[in-house]
Each structure stands twice: as C-alpha cells, then as structure tokens.
Amino acid sequence: MPTYEYACRKCGHRFEKFQPMNDEPLVKCPKCGRAALKRLVGRGGGLIFKGSGFYSTDYRAKEKAKPAVAPAPSGDSKAGQGGAPAAPAAAASPTK
C-alpha cells in the first residue's frame, strides 16, 4: 500500500496517509475539519527488498562442476593410453 501526502488548502496542514490504492482520496482535514484537502504528487518511497535472492551472487553455483574425464591431449590420440605416460620420441641422429 502506498503512502499519500495531503495538504489542506485552508489551514496549510500537511500530512501523510498510508492507504490502499483503490481508496478514494481524503477530503476532510484532520486538523481544521474543513473539506479542503488536496492529494499531493509525492516523490515516492524508496524501494526496499526484504529476504534473500536479490543479489547476483545468490543464484550463482557454489562451485562449478568439475569434468569427470580430462580432455584428450591434442596431437596423437593414442598417446597416454595404457596407464603409463608416453616415452619421449628419440631424436634421429645422422649415421656416418
């Protein structure tokens, strides 16, 4: 429910009233009793978020899932199979 600001045109009394949007505007001034109230255009209230879920970090996963299998190394697809690391290739030496 919004808070409306009113001012009396006769006595100048200003006040705020918390009322539903579908209620009719007030007419009678609570201070002088005359039917001279005018609803003012207010600045509006601040927007208040209560509870959780309003920060970008609230929806982020706690820890990214790690892949179950490591990606295959680039190049020779048979390298690394069999459980033992592949032996380095021997440098070819020129024969005399």
DSSP 57: G
pLDDT value at 2 more than 70: yes
* Domain residue spans of the chain: 3-40
pLDDT in tens, 14-72: 999 988 989 999 999 999 999 999 999 876 667 777 766 666 665 555 666 555 666 66
Strand-pair category, 3-8 with 37-40: antiparallel
Say how many C-beta atoms besides its own lie within 10 A of residue 37's C-beta. Answer: 20
User: What's the pTM value of the predicted model, to 2 decimals?
Assistant: 0.46
